[in-house]
Amino acid sequence: MTAKCIMVLGTTSGAGKSWLTTALCRYYARQGLKVAPFKAQNMSNNARVVAIENGQGEIGSAQYFQALAANAVPDVRMNPLLLKPERDTQSQVVLMGQVSAELSAMPWRGRSLKVWPQIAAALDALRAENDVVVIEGAGSPAEINLSNSDIVNMRVAKHCEAACLLVTDIDRGGAFAHLYGTWALLPEDERRLIKGFVLNKFRGDATLLAPAPQMLQDLTGIPTVATLPMWWQHGLPEEDGVFDDRSVAKGVVNLTVAVVAYPRISNLDEFQPLKNIPGLRLQWVRSPSELAGLKPSDWIILPGSKHTSGDLAWLRAQGLDAAIARHAEQGGAVLGVCGGLQMLGEALIDPHGIDGNAPGLGLLPLVTVFAQDKTVRHTSTSFVADFQSHAAGAQAGDLILPNAQKSAPGLGPNSVGPGAPSPWNPLAGVAVSGYEIHHGQTAQHAAMAAAGDLAHTVLPDGLGWCNARGNVLGLYLHGIFEDAAVLQALFSAQLGGTVPTLETVFDGLADYIAAHFSEGVLQDLLN
């Protein structure tokens, strides 16, 4: 078996490559074909855990979801090279699921030469096992400054003789110039692989596009094979961006979930399922003013971070530390996930130069030490039966002010007494599955524990803690909102007994492209 390869290229980042690749994976899988996704190199701090030989490793989240859409088991070969930005000029390099210190230290062009044989081998192995491989490009294939070291766009397309679609975001303006300019900058042996242009995110009357598609075909010989209407709420996580305020909840908002969007935010896509909850508004925040209108019943989430100490410094510089502390002091729900959990503690200690030392927010009596080895694994476990601790020192008037509150102006005594139920109590006893990706190892702060100030363990093996009041929760487990049992427990009233699923999303994507591509095009790409 040698798979037919179909490749989705874009005129720019954000043109729609990831979601179109996902849609094609489900479309061809529904034809009874064995399908696998592939992206040679992904740059993203959104990753998922997959099985590898002798352990577990990381691939980009987009390829993980594409594999699920294809009804395939996610495989490290589907994204052999993953770059995880840590700073503006530095990325952690993950090759075949494992962090490579050698490659992380190499210049970009030298790295490309070194990794291409493994990328080609991964693609060839998938081709040998499948009927169709749907390949996602990166950025634009016409980055002429990078063409000599390309390992993700046209070098891949030529290697497997892929039938290529070139997609552009028409909502940005200049779509026909983007398509023509990209085509014009490619050499002839690469142009021949482009089989169709796709206009994405179109708003308005498609007949008004004429005569531009035909004029473009006259210039290039390539037809425009689809005009895809704007679709804000397709349900698939956005790989690169978070500031999409056009997909907020409609109707009455019962709960606002504010996710702090610091510069090195990671795994932000795990919150996508919250967007699908009726009556829930998901809000990305970068300033205290955006938290000012929250009610105590609303949530603040501190998500993962690829550079925890740097994002913690940024958070303080914005004044968000005091705003978060104020919300917690009023009894509001605060959730920290992975790097967010680490921030909630008293201190970050970095003996190996992994991330950096820093004082924490002090909302949990914990300390994190960064280890040289990264923990990467799937985890299935269960929450404890009670999210509140009644140990000595847990009375409302006896709580020790955390670091963030010691300098925060205008803070009064706790407004919610110790008898108030924890907002996380619906999770009590719930079985949960997720994944871990972290260097930090977090434990009780020894001196504070000796003084009777203990965090309440809510997940075993150091995976989760709550403060004594039960409103501040820290977890190392990513992906809990992708777990149907968790969604049902937390949002059963809003959901009315029905949990939106990824399967529904994938089928919707496939239906969408089937309705909007020109007749016969998707089948012709296989010929």
The answer to whether 307 is a known catalytic residue is: no
User: Exposure string (b/e) for 314-352, b if CB count within 10 Å is 16 or more?
Assistant: bbbebebbbbbbbbbbbbbbbbbbbbbbbbbbbbbebee
Q: Which of 327, 438, 439, 478 is catalytic?
A: 478
Long-range contacts at 51-56 (CB < 8 A, ≥ 24 apart): 52/76, 52/96, 52/97, 52/98, 55/376, 56/97, 56/376, 56/377, 56/378
Distances (CA, A) of 233 to 58, 171, 173, 276, 505: 27, 16, 21, 8, 10
How many alpha carbons lie under 13 Å from residue 502 in its C-beta half-sphere?
A: 23
Four-residue CA torsion sign, 104, 105, 108, 110: negative
Distances (CA, A) of 48 to 378, 438, 483: 9, 12, 14
Residue type, 22: T
Helix, strand, or coil (residue 285): strand
Across the beta sheet with 41-43, what order do the strands follow? 41-43, 81-87, 90-95, 98-99
Q: Which of 338, 439, 445, 516 is catalytic?
A: 338
First to last CA, the chain: 15
Q: Following DSSP, what letter does each residue of 335-362 receive, concatenated? A: EEETHHHHHHSSEEE-TTSSS--EE---
The answer to whether 338 is a known catalytic residue is: yes
Cβ within 8 Å of residue 65, ≥6 positions away: 22, 236, 237, 502
Cis bond leading into 303, ω under 30°? no
Supply the Cα-derived Rg of the chain in whole angstroms.
24
Q: Is the Cβ–Cβ distance between 206 and 170 less than 8 Å?
A: no
* Catalytic sites, residue numbers: 338, 478
